[in-house]
Amino acid sequence: MHISGMVAFDSDANIVGEGDIEAQTEQVFRNLQAVVEEAGGTINNIVSTTTYLADVTDAPVVNAARSRYFTGEVLPTHTVIGVAALARPQLLVEISAVAYLGDL
């Protein structure tokens, strides 16, 4: 399952944590988890992520959140890309993912 770039929107499409990379990252991971669970999997079914950051110096914050969400025996691959801007100026982080939902 390919999960398009998730951003820090809540269920009402409001931006969570404007100006706060930690709050936005937590919301993005909650959104990723919800999408995979809706498809019948868990966060541990995610095998790869690509993180887009408006400021790459925020990478340690994203890595800390990753370690709280991805706790399985095999961790997903992770690529971080610095970008000039995301879709809206208030957004600081966007994460795309690939999840494997089949039998191993």
Spatial distance between the Cα atoms of 22 and 25, rounded to a whole number of angstroms: 5
Residue 38 and residue 34: Cα distance in Å, rounded? 6
Q: How far apart are CA 14 and CA 8, in angstroms?
A: 8
pLDDT at position 104 over 80: no
Task: Please write the tens of the pLDDT for every residue from 27-80.
Answer: 999 999 999 999 999 999 999 999 999 999 999 999 999 999 999 888 999 999
CATH of domain 2-99: 3.30.1330.40
Residue 72, pLDDT score: 86
Does residue 36 contact residue 95 with C-beta atoms inside 8 Å?
Answer: no
> Which whole number is the average pLDDT over 93-101?
97
